[in-house]
């Protein structure tokens, strides 16, 4: 920008504002490297599963059953993490299980988060009876035990990947609706919203153009923080037999398959459990960093 020097009458070029750039660079320097590396590695292995391993995740080979990891007696590098009770390579099933977890997590978050955000925007802006009805519906959903509600949904409609996605979205939308509605309640009282009403903007335009952009940061943080929760719910459903049906490998079903072999073949349940722990922790740490980075009250200029 330019300004006029009152003494000379000449235009003087102002120094560019560099604080936002400095803040972004500082935020990037504080990014959690290890969690990001874990997330990227998980995504790459899930996408490239077909070319990373020579084994099938579902073909049974009973002569190879319960082979230990390569560092134990009887193990070999042909099956680095050992095999399960059906003789299937454990590392292969872990890789394909990551694909299922990411797919269920992504679709569940998009569906549940999208519906919850839309209802939260409507409830927060409309107020009155609409807000009361939607919030009572939200409270009712949140009051149910999450796993029980998802199990009932899956049992009634049958088990499949899409049914699991719908079950997760069914219990997830209320979390988004509650938080987004709270954000909208504060934003709708600001001057730019009042000016939009005076200018004759429709409620739909106000929600999409004025309210939605102002809650996007909160929505992105919520999505990142809920990834780990979705993975745990999917694994819990699979462990209980109400998730993605076999022989499709999932981390939860792999833990269930090995629970009868804890003493003799610990690796069957240990490695899927470790995969869940590391993945959920990585997404939670990344979500915490993203929340701090996008929260304007925590920005260091």
Q: How far is CA 148 from CA 115, 137, 138, 240, 276, in A?
A: 21, 18, 17, 11, 21
Residue 295: the pLDDT is 62
Angle, helix 212-239 to helix 161-187, in steps of 10 degrees: 150
Mapping DSSP to helix (H, G, I), strand (E, B) and coil, where does residue 1 land? coil
Most distant pair of Cα atoms in the chain: their distance: 93
Q: What pLDDT sits at residue 28?
A: 53
Q: Is the peptide bond before 247 cis (omega within 30 degrees of 0)?
A: yes
Give the bridge partners for 12, in sequence order.
3
Contacts of 161 (CB under 8 A, 6+ apart): 100, 103, 104, 244, 248
The whole-number mean pLDDT for each consecutive block of 10 residues of the chain, a chain of 301 residues, reads 45 41 52 86 88 87 88 87 90 91 88 92 88 89 80 77 85 89 86 82 84 86 86 86 82 88 89 92 87 60 33
- SS3 state at 293: helix
273 Cβ contact list (under 8 Å, min separation 6): 251, 255
* Token pair for 52: 């990373």
Q: What's the whole-model pTM score?
A: 0.80
Outline where the chain has alpha helix (H). 19-29, 33-47, 49-52, 90-126, 128-143, 146-157, 161-187, 191-198, 203-205, 212-239, 251-258, 267-294
Residues 6+ away with beta carbon under 8 Å from 112: 168, 169, 170, 171, 172, 173, 175, 176
Report which DSSP code applies to 206: I
Backbone angles phi, psi at 4, to 5 degrees: -100, 130
Q: DSSP secondary-structure letter at 188?
A: T
Q: Report pLDDT for 204.
A: 86
* Residue-level pLDDT at 95: 92
Tokens of 184: 């909208």
Question: What is the set of domains in the chain, with CATH numbers?
Answer: 95-301 (1.10.3720.10)
Which tokens belong to 90? 């454990």
- Under 8 Å CB-to-CB from 3, ≥6 apart: which residues? 11, 12, 14
pLDDT of residue 12: 41
């Amino acid at each position: 920008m330019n300004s006029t020097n009152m003494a000379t009458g000449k235009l003087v070029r102002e120094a560019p504002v560099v604080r936002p750039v400095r803040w972004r660079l500082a935020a990037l320097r504080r990014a959690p490297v290890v969690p990001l590396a874990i997330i990227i590695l998980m995504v790459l292995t899930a996408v490239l599963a077909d070319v990373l391993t020579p084994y099938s995740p579902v073909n049974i080979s009973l002569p190879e059953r319960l082979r230990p990891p390569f560092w134990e007696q009887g193990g070999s590098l042909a099956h680095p993490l050992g095999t399960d009770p059906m003789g299937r390579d454990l590392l292969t099933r872990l890789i394909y299980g990551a694909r299922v977890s990411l797919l269920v997590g992504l679709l569940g978050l998009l569906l549940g988060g999208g519906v919850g955000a839309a209802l939260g925007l409507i409830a927060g802006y409309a107020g009155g009876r609409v807000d009361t009805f939607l919030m009572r519906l939200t409270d009712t959903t949140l009051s149910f035990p999450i796993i029980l509600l998802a199990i009932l949904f899956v049992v009634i409609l049958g088990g499949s990947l899409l049914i699991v996605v719908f079950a997760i979205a069914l219990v997830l939308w209320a979390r988004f609706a509650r938080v987004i509605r709270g954000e909208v309640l504060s934003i709708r009282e600001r001057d730019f919203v009042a000016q939009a009403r005076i200018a004759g903007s429709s409620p739909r335009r106000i929600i999409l153009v004025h309210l939605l952009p102002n809650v996007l940061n909160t929505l992105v943080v919520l999505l990142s923080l809920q990834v780990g929760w979705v993975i745990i719910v999917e694994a819990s459903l699979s462990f209980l037999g109400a998730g993605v049906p076999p022989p499709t490998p999932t981390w939860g079903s792999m833990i269930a398959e090995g629970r009868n072999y804890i003493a003799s073949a610990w690796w069957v349940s240990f490695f899927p459990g470790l995969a869940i722990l590391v993945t959920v922790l990585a997404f939670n740490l990344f979500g915490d960093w993203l929340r701090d980075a996008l929260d304007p009250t925590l920005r260091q200029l």
